[in-house]
Amino acid sequence: MKHALITGGSGVIGSNLSDALLERGYEVTVIDNLLTGRIQNIEHNLENPKFHLIHDTILNEPLMDELIKSASVVYHLAAAVGVKHIVNDPLQGILINVKGSEIVFAHAFKYWKRVVFASTSEIYGRSTDIPFKEDGLRVLGPTHVDRWSYSTSKALDEHLAFAYHHKGLPVSIVRYFNAYGPRIDESGYGSVVANFISQAFRGEPLTVHGDGQQTRCFTFVGDTVRGTIATGEHKAAIGQAFNIGNNKEITILELAERIKKLTGTTADIKFIPYEKAYGKSYQDTRRRVPDVSKAQEMLGFRAEVDLDDGLARTIAWAREHYEVN
């Protein structure tokens, strides 16, 4: 039987990935220290004999050695995530993302295990070479601006992955573009969709940073998971990086307006300067759009869920699960 180890499997994407792999007949082991993940995301699987939860950190190297040895594939998603988290504690972010990935890759290399590494669209930074192609430029700000440490730590992880691949490790990289959907966390660590939905439920103004003309491509988590599994199951994906995302671009202001409409809130939209949200030296990326042709051609993967449908499903889930609604 196929046995997947998912690091960070109690998180938003990891828990949805667990469900999808269990459905496909995999045995699934999750290791998660619940830094941002939640037990509620996986508790429906706890009685399933094919599901195992290990509450520990990926920095526990002897444990990781054991877990990787008994897996047939490793989906490595554990990371310090979210711009707010990274800006609040850049050191923790760098150490988890760099040391943790080094442990995962080194032990997967020891046992020659298939690995899929979760990277990010942040890799491209402020590149204006739109849409972002997998082999496109990375444009980052200075190192004293903490937000770039996330992009840089994930890029170092990618370099490590490619370096291990040169030695024979069967590893692939998926670069996610703004995943959202059921289980996004309203505690505000990063998801603008979750923030807007919980503000709308509370009847508070939806807070848009800057002028709201910055764009993103929001990807329903079911699509993110499909793209991840397609990467893990295609032999041709080994040694490759893929943009996994929707390529429909939307401004953050438009997103706020859509969520206002779909939740039926009468609350206003309020603009907040970036400095107020993230401190003085914050720098944002203005546009972020994936070129999705490589994933489509090599994996047959294309995001399918359109934003209104995905938002409606997310809002329906949030009505049942968010404390304030």
Taking the least distance from each CB to ligand NAD, the nearer of 34 and 98 is 34
Are 192 and 253 in contact, with CB atoms under 8 Å apart?
no
Q: Which of 29, 33, 172, 198 forms a contact with ligand NAD (CB under 6 A)?
A: 33
Amino acid of residue 309: D
230: Cβ contacts below 8 Å, ≥ 6 apart = 237, 295, 299, 300, 301
Taking the least distance from each CB to ligand NAD, the nearer of 17 and 208 is 17
Among the residue ranges 114-122, 138-146, 193-201, 248-256, the one whose residues contact ligand NAD (CB under 6 A): 114-122
Q: Which of 18, 29, 45, 57 forms a contact with ligand NAD (CB under 6 A)?
A: 57
Other C-beta atoms lying within 10 Å of the C-beta of residue 170: 18
Q: Which of 4, 37, 86, 311 forms a contact with ligand NAD (CB under 6 A)?
A: 37
Question: What does the CA dihedral 266, 308, 229, 56 come to, rounded to 10 degrees?
Answer: 0
- Shortest gap between Cβ of 177 and ligand NAD (angstroms)? 7
- Shortest gap between Cβ of 43 and ligand NAD (angstroms)? 14
Token pair 């994933």 is found at 295
d(C-alpha 167, C-alpha 13), whole Å: 29
The residues that are catalytic are 150
Q: Which of 67, 68, 179, 197 forms a contact with ligand NAD (CB under 6 A)?
A: 179
Taking the least distance from each CB to ligand NAD, the nearer of 7 and 231 is 7
Q: Which of 6, 8, 148, 278 forms a contact with ligand NAD (CB under 6 A)?
A: 8
Q: Which of 21, 28, 42, 96 forms a contact with ligand NAD (CB under 6 A)?
A: 96
Note the helical H segments in 26-143: 61-70, 83-88, 90-95, 101-111
124 binds ligand NAD (CB under 6 A): no
Q: Which of 20, 22, 59, 145 forms a contact with ligand NAD (CB under 6 A)?
A: 59
14 binds ligand NAD (CB under 6 A): yes
Residue 117 DSSP one-character state? E
Token pair 């499903």 is found at 313
Taking the least distance from each CB to ligand NAD, the nearer of 217 and 265 is 217
81 binds ligand NAD (CB under 6 A): yes
d(C-alpha 54, C-alpha 72), whole Å: 17
Are 41 and 64 in contact, with CB atoms under 8 Å apart?
no
Are 2 and 26 in contact, with CB atoms under 8 Å apart?
yes
Are 221 and 251 in contact, with CB atoms under 8 Å apart?
no
* Strands 215-216, 250-251: pairing kind: antiparallel
- Shortest gap between Cβ of 213 and ligand NAD (angstroms)? 20
- Kindly list the residues in this chain that would bind ligand NAD in the complex (CB under 6 A): 7-8, 10-14, 31-37, 57-59, 77-81, 96, 100, 118, 120-121, 176, 178-179
